[in-house]
Structure 1
Amino acid sequence: MKRSDRLYWLSKRQRQCLALVERGMSSKEIARHLQIAPSTVDNHIKLALARLNCYTRQQAASLLHEERRSASRTQPLPSLARR
């Protein structure tokens, strides 16, 4: 299974939480930022970890970061040829 396939199954909120974990935010900080309860943040992260087969928040955030990098590398370059 490709990484992108695994990320596809995450909810929008799970991806948002992981993106904020990637920035180094704690559950309390994420909760304030998204205006939800810290326990809800922990639940979103717990479910995301299970879907990604990750054991730690940092491992999941790293996976998200790598996916973003690989996605930016696979986009086609604009053609430089004159028409």
Structure 2
Amino acid sequence: MKGDALDPKALIAEAYRIEGITSEECRSIFLDWALSLPEGADVQAALSGLIARHGVTGHPMTAVLKQGLGEDRPPRRRGGRAARRL
């Protein structure tokens, strides 16, 4: 399968086609995808585009892509001096 600018090797698209894929397998595919991006690529924009294209709710790859964007992280508590600065 031929990829495009967001998914050069079509790895992410293929991950969504694999029945019963696990989170661990998705993380491995994600790493291979990240390493296949051209130098200087906007990773955040690519991740957003992939989620918009493939973002199936409940699929482990969607969760991995959102982790890459930092969307599913709980808010961090900022204490000390950093919390007092505006």
Q: TM-score, normalised by structure 1?
A: 0.33
Q: TM-score, normalised by structure 2?
A: 0.32
